[in-house]
Amino acid sequence: MLAMSSRVSAAILAAIVAASMLVPQPAAVAQVPTVRLLGEQTIPHRTNFQDTVVGGLSSIDHDPETGRYALLSDDWSDYSPARYYTAAIELDADGLHDVALTDVTLLRRPDGQTYPTIQDWRVEQHGYPEGVRNAFGTVDPEELRIDPLTGDLAWTSEGQRNVLSGGSPADAEPVLLDPTIRPSTADTTPFLVLERDYVGDAGTSIRIVEVSTSRAADVLDRHSLADGDFRPVSKRPLVDLGEPGATIDDIEGITWGPALPSGERTLLLVGGDDFSSAQSTRITALAVG
């Protein structure tokens, strides 16, 4: 059973994300792995599940202990209260066979209530002291990760800023972040990054690349990178999703799945429909070997 915490330090969350995205490295000189498409499954537009509207899925993670998956909706509580789903995903070396939602968990504020819509919060906010107001306001869920050691689930909010009624974003209250812990040496383990481009008539392209920080400069204490006097991270392409035949859409989430008997590792992607009938909610499964 996933335990959910609404606040987690940036350092812990970054460590969980990095751990879940580790690229398996053979003992010999690393070669670019082969990638093949196992399959895709689409969740119909505006599917109703346990009195919530399924859509806007922006993140996915795999719980190795239970075998279940967690999928976060980036709904600002406009269609249903802010939430994440758990799902059973059936796949093997022959394909992606089924995606079945099994539960939904509503994200809750410190007082146990669900997060309000932005319209409701503009009225409700005046009942909270300014020092704690941001912990109770509208959220913009975007990313979640399951701690592989404890099974706890951490989620983040982005974009939405709680603005006083009649104010502008410049009037928004500051959000105090938990302090982060800076390690004495950088973690140089390679990890995967999902890159998405959109260029005019050319449409959308999506790539997965392997990133290494082993030779990159530590820029934590630099005020600006404008002078270009630093060594960036190194990247090498893993796959352009168009090559194995995956559908190119609004893909946002990525996670490793279970290993296959062939030695390949499954890699799952999720794309949300933004609650628009012109887009689709889709799970894509790849085999990386």
11-63 pLDDT, tens digit each:
344 434 444 455 554 444 557 789 999 999 999 999 999 999 999 999 999 99
Residue 179 domain-assigned?
no
Assigned domain for 178 exists: no
Task: Tell me the pLDDT band of 244, cut-offs 50, 70 and 90.
Answer: very high
Q: Tell whether pTM > 0.85.
A: no
- Per-residue HEC secondary structure of the chain comes to CCEEECCCCHHHHHHHHHHHCECCCCCCCCCCCCEEEEEEEEECCCCEECCEECCCEEEEEECCCCCCEEEEECCCCCCCCCEEEEEEEEEECCEEEEEEEEEEEECECCCCCECCCHHHHHHHHHHCCCCCHHHCCCCCEEEEEECCCCCEEEEEECCCCCCCCCCCHHHCCCCCCCCCCCCCCCCCCCEEEEEEEEEHHHEEEEEEEEEECCCCCCCCCCCCCCCCCCCCCEEEEEEECCCCCCCCCCEEEEEEEEECCCCCEEEEEEECCCCCCCCCEEEEEEEEC
Q: Is residue 181 part of a domain?
A: no
Q: How many domains does the chain fold into?
A: 1
* Cβ partners under 8 Å of residue 164, min gap 6: 125, 171, 172, 173
- Domain containing 105 equals 3-159+189-288
Contact 62, 53 (CB under 8 A): no
Domain annotation covers residue 183: no
pLDDT over threshold 70, residue 282: yes
Q: Is residue 168 part of a domain?
A: no
171 has a pLDDT exceeding 70? no
Is 51 part of a structural domain of the chain?
Answer: yes
Summarised one tens digit per residue, pLDDT across range 110-132 is 999 999 999 999 999 989 888 78
25 lies in some domain: yes
Per-residue pLDDT band at 161 (split at 50, 70, 90):
low
180-223 tens-digit pLDDT: 233 334 556 788 899 988 877 777 899 999 988 888 999 989 98
Task: Work out the pLDDT band at 250, boundaries 50, 70, 90.
Answer: confident
Question: Is the residue at 164 inside a domain?
Answer: no
